[in-house]
Structure 1
Amino acid sequence: MAPSKSGKKSTSTVSYKDALKAGLVCGVVVLILAIIVTRAWQDGTAFGFAFLYAGVAFVAVSGVACILNWVMRNDTQNDDQTYPVLR
């Protein structure tokens, strides 16, 4: 059976905007959990640390997602897909 030639190229990457959205979601989750765990409503310092933790989580998750996205976009190992995946 001959491989089908479709006009649309499949990609295994997401946009950088989606990577930042994932980082934002993780940052908000970390912020909520940090406020609860540190009981930030009782102390201003703990409230500041909760925002610091959320910022670090946002940067870390967004950074890793963007790096992995960049790696997958520049991957040339599987360009020739004229053969079955499992030979």
Structure 2
Amino acid sequence: MKIKNTIREIRKYRTPSCIKCMHSSFKPFNGTTIYCACPAFRDYTERMKGETYAIAESRLVRGTRWCRFEQKPPKAEDGDES
């Protein structure tokens, strides 16, 4: 198997799943695509391509230099009010 971009593949391997990222959105019953709303990628597309995206498919963003993974905050369990 030939790897096209080794740096991107290493970054993908070291970055946790997009489902755990604060910038991602995933609706399992509506489709199987994970979307990313990372501000760094949106700024890049606006500057370079002249297009504005509110969200992009995560496969276009993950592993690139614009991927800014941020862990989602833990969900509060029932009865646990702090």
Scaled by the length of structure 1, the TM-score of the pair is 0.26
Q: Name the TM-score, length of structure 2 as normaliser.
A: 0.26
Greater C-alpha radius of gyration = 1
